[in-house]
C-alpha cells in the first residue's frame, strides 16, 4: 500500500535537512539526508538539483517537494522512505520536548565503522557526516530556525531567520 511522508515533507517545505546524528540505525543505513535545492516539477532543473547528491545519498529531501529514496529494488527504496519518515517524526517530537540528544563524533565514527559488520555499504561513507554534538556545541538544538519568508530559503537567497523554541 502506498504511503506518503507528511512529516519528512514538512521538513523539506521548511528548508531543513535531516542531518542530526540522533538514531544509530539511520547513521548506519542512510547517513545524512540532505536537502536538494528547489527545481520545477517535470523539468531538468529538478534533475540537476538532485544530481550532485544522488551518487552519495540513498535518501534526499527536495525543497518544497518531499522525499526521494533509492535502493537495489523497490522494497529497499520503500524501507528507506519509511526510515526517513520515522526519523522526521522522532526529530519533530524531540524538538517539542526540548531538543534531541545528538550523538558525539566518537559514537558516530563507531557507527560508521560498524557498517561493514552489518553488511551495509554506503556511497560516500567518508564524504559527509551527520551533525554531531561537537558540531552543535553552543548552538540551539532545541529550536527550529524558521525562515522569515518563503524567499529566504537555501537557494542562495538571504537567510534571515527567527528562532522558534520548543522548550515547553
Per-residue pLDDT reduced to its tens digit, 138-158:
544 444 443 334 444 444 433
Asked, for residue 14, whether it belongs to a domain, the answer is: yes
Record the cell numbers describing residue 5, joined without a space. 511522508
Distance (Å) of CA 30 to CA 61, 156, 159? 13, 26, 28
d(CA 121, CA 24): 15
Asked, for residue 158, whether it belongs to a domain, the answer is: no
Asked, for residue 153, whether it belongs to a domain, the answer is: no
Name the maximum alpha-carbon separation found in the chain: 45
- Whether pLDDT at 4 is above 80: no
Asked, for residue 88, whether it belongs to a domain, the answer is: yes
What's the half-sphere exposure (Cβ side, CA atoms, 13 Å) at 133? 13
Asked, for residue 70, whether it belongs to a domain, the answer is: yes
Which of these, 139, 163, 154, 148, lies nearest to 63 by C-alpha position? 154
Q: What is the pTM of this model?
A: 0.74
Record the cell numbers describing residue 131, joined without a space. 551533525
Asked, for residue 166, whether it belongs to a domain, the answer is: no
| Tens-digit pLDDT profile for residues 31-87 | 899 999 999 999 999 999 999 999 999 999 999 999 999 999 999 999 999 999 999
d(CA 87, CA 111): 17
- Whether pLDDT at 118 is above 90: no
Task: Tell me the sheet residues that pair with 13.
Answer: none
What does the pLDDT average to over 85-94? Answer: 97
Indicate the number of domains in the chain.
1
**Predicted pLDDT at 120:** 84
Asked, for residue 168, whether it belongs to a domain, the answer is: no
Q: Residue 134: pLDDT band by 50, 70, 90 thresholds?
A: low
Place of cell 560516500: 124
What CATH number has the domain bearing residue 74? 3.40.225.10
d(CA 151, CA 118): 42
- Whether pLDDT at 24 is above 50: yes
Per the model's pLDDT, the better-predicted residue between 164 and 114 turns out to be: 114
d(CA 75, CA 17): 24
Asked, for residue 155, whether it belongs to a domain, the answer is: no
- Whether pLDDT at 160 is above 90: no
Percent of the chain at pLDDT exceeding 70: 70
Domain limits for position 122: 6-142
Amino acid at each position: 500500500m502506498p504511503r506518503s511522508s507528511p512529516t519528512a515533507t514538512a521538513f523539506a517545505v521548511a528548508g531543513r535537512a535531516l542531518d542530526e546524528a540522533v538514531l544509530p540505525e539511520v547513521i548506519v543505513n542512510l547517513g545524512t539526508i540532505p536537502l536538494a535545492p528547489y527545481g520545477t516539477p517535470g523539468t531538468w532543473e529538478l534533475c540537476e538539483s538532485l544530481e550532485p547528491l544522488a551518487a552519495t545519498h540513498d535518501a534526499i529531501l527536495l525543497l518544497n517537494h518531499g522525499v526521494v529514496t533509492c535502493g537495489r529494488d523497490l522494497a529497499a527504496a520503500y524501507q528507506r522512505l519509511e526510515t526517513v519518515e520515522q526519523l522526521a517524526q522522532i526529530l519533530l517530537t524531540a524538538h517539542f520536548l526540548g531538543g534531541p540528544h545528538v550523538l558525539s563524533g566518537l559514537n558516530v565514527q563507531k557507527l560508521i565503522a560498524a557498517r561493514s559488520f552489518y553488511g551495509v555499504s554506503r556511497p560516500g561513507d567518508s564524504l559527509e557526516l551527520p551533525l554531531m554534538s561537537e558540531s552543535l556545541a553552543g548552538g540551539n538544538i532545541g529550536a527550529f530556525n524558521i525562515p522569515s519568508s518563503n524567499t529566504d530559503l537555501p537557494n542562495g537567497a538571504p537567510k534571515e531567520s527567527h528562532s522558534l523554541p520548543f522548550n515547553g
